[in-house]
């Protein structure tokens, strides 16, 4: 047999994905506390631009907490204290001079539980572009709404009832509505917290396809409990366990040959 | 290694290992029997050897089906993924070893009526012993997940190549000495070639063991010393 590169590695990442990419989000020694309880311990990680990074780990390990640090959503939790440095494009996002509302226009988030506004389907999607002044005319706004709903693969199901309330949709439809709402503001970074947990395989495949498309321009971070999904959609993977970032690396390496035993035990479904 | 939370998955993975050891045991046995039937001029025994290759083929198909089902149902990852893929590869190599042993046994049937010149089989016997030993060692390394032991086998294939070279020259010499030897010796040349190929499949298994346990392919070129493709023994024309 000839000495060839590992075929599994070649299968999952193209040459383009392997070239090192500039860092979009950098976290350095991040510690997060809810009151006296520490939820994240000394997390440092670089998130590359124009790529999908997956966060995996058992329930309660701190994935959502870390995601919420990146758009300062934790500011709204009274007991929550964030220490350490988080930078986007090299700038400290916890700088007091920085406006968190402006930040959240650049960092969109799809939440673990769908949370449509109690407004029409149309207004749910149009809300962001309106407040951020992204459209000049009604026609332009209509176009953004349709485009975003199509991208989130919801358009066909709702195009005849855009005036109905977003809260009247099914769970999976609500989740896609929230995805449409997020991409409508054209953010630089999209944080997705288990975006497909309520979706059927077809809608899941469409969202994964959307991620593949979006990553040529944006930075995407996805939290997922599906190892297969992480392996399919991401180029880099980080494994969290008990508030610690245990292992991070190329997705192809993490899923074929992880270095840490905890990572291996978790992704293969063993007792830790 | 910790156990899987899903017990049936754990069981399926261990079934793969026991099927490989079953196939491996049969392949080893076949190699030995093929040579014995040649050395003892025993066509009945040769025939039985040819027939038992079917069992290896059957096990191979069963393993393939099981691996396909496991990939579909369990979507194995990390060391499990490497094990499942490695089992598939090793089973393929063992199936080829079975075929080669079968071919030796077929030739044993064909030449069972011929008288072998004294000493002609010594080299082939040596090759058979080396090939069987290597096969056994690599299967033990597989079962023990011992990459270092597998790499020892990988490097030692050179010895089998070296004996093959001398058997090759020896057979050419016999043929030149007396053209009546050509029929028998041609068959024996193929027997030697088959044994040498069994060594190559064994090194493939060694590489797979290395991949399965370490997640990497071995570094560097395997030492090779089969020079028969450039060997020509010339003698006086009669
Ligand atoms: N608002 C909060 N107040 C107090 N503790 C919290 C709060 N949010 C999260 N925690 C705690 O912080 C830890 C990390 O929670 P987090 O939601 O980040 O986990 P997760 O990895 O996203 O889990 P899951 O996969 O279940 O969503 C948990 O122990 C959790 O109980
Ligand atoms: Mg969460």
Which pLDDT does position B235 carry in this prediction? 62
What is the arithmetic mean of pLDDT over B144-149? 97
Token digits of residue A150: 């199509």
Which pLDDT does position A13 carry in this prediction? 46
pLDDT at B215 over 50: yes
Which of ligand 1's atoms lies nearest the C-alpha of A63? 21
A177 C-alpha vs ligand 2 centroid, how far in Å? 19
Of A3, A255, A270, the CB nearest to B4: A270
The position carrying tokens 């089998």 is B160
pLDDT level of residue B236 (50, 70, 90 thresholds): low
Q: Which ligand is nearest to the CA of A77?
A: 1
Closest residue in chain A to residue B5, using alpha carbons only: A270
B148 within a domain of the structure (yes/no): yes
Chain B closest CA to A256's CA: distance in Å? 4
B133 within a domain of the structure (yes/no): yes
Which pLDDT does position A155 carry in this prediction? 96
Token digits of residue B202: 């064994």
A136 within a domain of the structure (yes/no): yes
Q: What is the 3-state secondary structure (H, E, C) of B10-64?
A: HHHHHHHHHHHHHHHHHHHHHHHHHHHHHHCCCHHHHHHHHHHHHHHHHHHHHHH
B220 within a domain of the structure (yes/no): yes
Of A228, A258, A269, the CB nearest to B6: A269
Q: Which of A30, A58, A61 to mutate to test the pocket of ligand 1 (most atoms within 8 A of CB)?
A: A61
CA distance B172 to B175: 5
Secondary structure class of A240 (helix, strand, coil): strand
Give DSSP secondary structure letters for A61-101: SSHHHHHHHHTTGGGG-TTEEEEEEEEETTEETT-TTS-HH
CA angle (B123 as vertex; B120, B129 as ends), nearest 5 = 135
B235 within a domain of the structure (yes/no): no
A111 within a domain of the structure (yes/no): yes
Secondary structure class of B77 (helix, strand, coil): coil
Cα–Cα nearest to A43, from A83, A71, A2, A90: A83
Q: What total of structural domains would you count in chain A?
A: 1
Q: Is the ipTM of this complex over 0.85?
A: no
Residue nearest to atom 16 of ligand 1 (CA): A62
A:40-99 residues touching chain B, CB 8 A cutoff: none
- Block means of pLDDT (10 residues each) for chain A, 272 residues, are 44 53 95 97 97 97 96 93 96 94 93 92 95 87 96 94 95 92 95 92 90 92 96 97 97 95 94 62
CA distance B103 to B101: 5
A41 within a domain of the structure (yes/no): yes
A272 within a domain of the structure (yes/no): no
Cα–Cα nearest to B215, from A231, A11, A247, A5: A5
A4 contacts B217? CB cut-off 8 A: yes
CA distance B215 to B52: 34
Summarised one tens digit per residue, pLDDT across range B150-184 is 999 999 999 999 999 999 999 999 999 999 999 99
Q: What total of structural domains would you count in chain B?
A: 1
Percent of chain B having pLDDT more than 90? 83
B238 within a domain of the structure (yes/no): no
Q: Please indicate if any CB of chain B lies within 8 Å of the CB of A267.
A: yes
Per the structure, the complete domain to which residue A244 belongs is given by 22-267
Per the structure, the complete domain to which residue B163 belongs is given by 3-230
Which pLDDT does position A112 carry in this prediction? 85
A16 within a domain of the structure (yes/no): no
Q: Please indicate if any CB of chain B lies within 8 Å of the CB of A15.
A: no
Q: Cα B33 from chain centroid?
A: 13
In angstroms, the Cα distances linking A38 to A165, A177, A225 are 39, 33, 22
User: Best mutation site among B10, B78, B201 for testing chain A: the one with the most A CBs within 10 Å?
Assistant: B78
Q: What is the CATH number of the domain that holds A150?
A: 3.40.50.300
Summarised one tens digit per residue, pLDDT across range B56-99 is 999 999 999 999 999 999 999 999 999 999 999 999 999 999 99
Average pLDDT, chain B: 93
Q: What is the CATH number of the domain that holds B134?
A: 1.20.58.220
Q: Which ligand is nearest to the CA of A60?
A: 1
Across chain A, where does the E strand assignment appear? 23-34, 37-48, 52-56, 80-88, 91-92, 107-110, 189-193, 219-223, 236-241, 244-250
CA distance A202 to A110: 19
A7 within a domain of the structure (yes/no): no
pLDDT level of residue B221 (50, 70, 90 thresholds): confident
Which pLDDT does position A134 carry in this prediction? 80
Secondary structure class of A24 (helix, strand, coil): strand
B77 contacts A227? CB cut-off 8 A: yes
**Chain B neighbors of A229, CB-CB under 8 A:** none
Which pLDDT does position A1 carry in this prediction? 40
């Amino acid at each position: 047999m000839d000495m060839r590169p590992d075929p599994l590695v070649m299968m999952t990442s193209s040459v383009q994905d392997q070239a090192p990419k500039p860092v979009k989000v950098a976290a350095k020694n991040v510690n997060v506390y809810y009151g006296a309880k520490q939820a994240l311990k000394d997390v440092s990680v670089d998130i590359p631009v124009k790529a999908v990074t997956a966060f995996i780990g058992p329930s309660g390990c701190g994935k959502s907490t870390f995601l919420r640090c990146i758009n300062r959503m934790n500011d709204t939790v009274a007991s929550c204290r964030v220490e350490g440095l988080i930078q986007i494009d090299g700038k400290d996002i916890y700088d007091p001079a920085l406006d968190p509302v402006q930040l959240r226009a650049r960092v969109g988030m799809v939440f673990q539980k769908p949370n449509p506004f109690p407004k029409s389907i149309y207004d749910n999607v149009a809300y962001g572009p309106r407040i951020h002044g992204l459209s000049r005319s009604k026609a332009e706004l209509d176009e953004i709404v349709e485009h975003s709903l199509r991208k989130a693969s919801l358009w066909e199901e709702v195009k005849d009832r855009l005036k109905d309330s977003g809260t009247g949709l099914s769970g999976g439809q609500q989740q896609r509505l929230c995805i449409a709402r997020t991409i409508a503001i054209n953010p630089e970074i999209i944080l997705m917290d288990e975006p497909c947990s309520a979706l059927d395989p077809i809608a899941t495949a469409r969202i994964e396809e959307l991620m593949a498309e979006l990553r040529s321009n944006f930075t995407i971070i996805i939290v997922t409990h599906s190892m297969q999904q992480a392996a399919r959609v991401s180029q880099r993977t980080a494994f969290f366990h008990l508030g610690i970032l245990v292992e991070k690396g190329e997705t192809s390496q993490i899923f074929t040959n992880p270095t840490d035993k905890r990572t291996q035990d978790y992704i293969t479904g063993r007792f830790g | 290694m910790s156990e899987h939370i899903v017990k049936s998955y754990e069981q399926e993975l261990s079934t793969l290992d026991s099927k490989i050891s079953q196939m491996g045991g049969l392949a080893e046995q076949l190699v030995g029997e093929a040579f014995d039937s040649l050395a003892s001029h025993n066509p009945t025994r040769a025939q039985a050897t040819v027939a038992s290759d079917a069992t290896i083929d059957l096990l191979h198909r069963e393993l393939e089906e099981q691996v396909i089902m496991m990939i579909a149902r369990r979507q194995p990852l990390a060391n499990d993924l490497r094990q499942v893929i490695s089992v598939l590869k090793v089973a393929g190599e063992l199936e080829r070893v079975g075929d080669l042993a079968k071919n030796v046994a077929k030739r044993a049937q064909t030449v069972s009526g011929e008288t072998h010149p004294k000493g002609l089989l010594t080299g082939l016997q040596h090759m058979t012993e080396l090939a069987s030993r290597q096969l056994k060692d690599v299967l033990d390394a597989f079962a023990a997940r011992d990459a270092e032991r597998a790499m020892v086998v990988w490097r030692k294939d050179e010895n089998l190549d070296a004996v093959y070279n001398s058997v090759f020259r020896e057979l050419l010499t016999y043929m030149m000495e007396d053209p009546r030897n050509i029929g028998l010796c041609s068959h024996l040349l193929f027997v030697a070639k088959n044994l040498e190929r069994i060594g190559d499949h064994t090194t493939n298994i060694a590489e797979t063991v290395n991949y399965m346990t370490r997640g990497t392919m071995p570094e560097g070129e395997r030492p090779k010393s089969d020079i028969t493709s450039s060997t020509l023994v010339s003698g006086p024309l009669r």
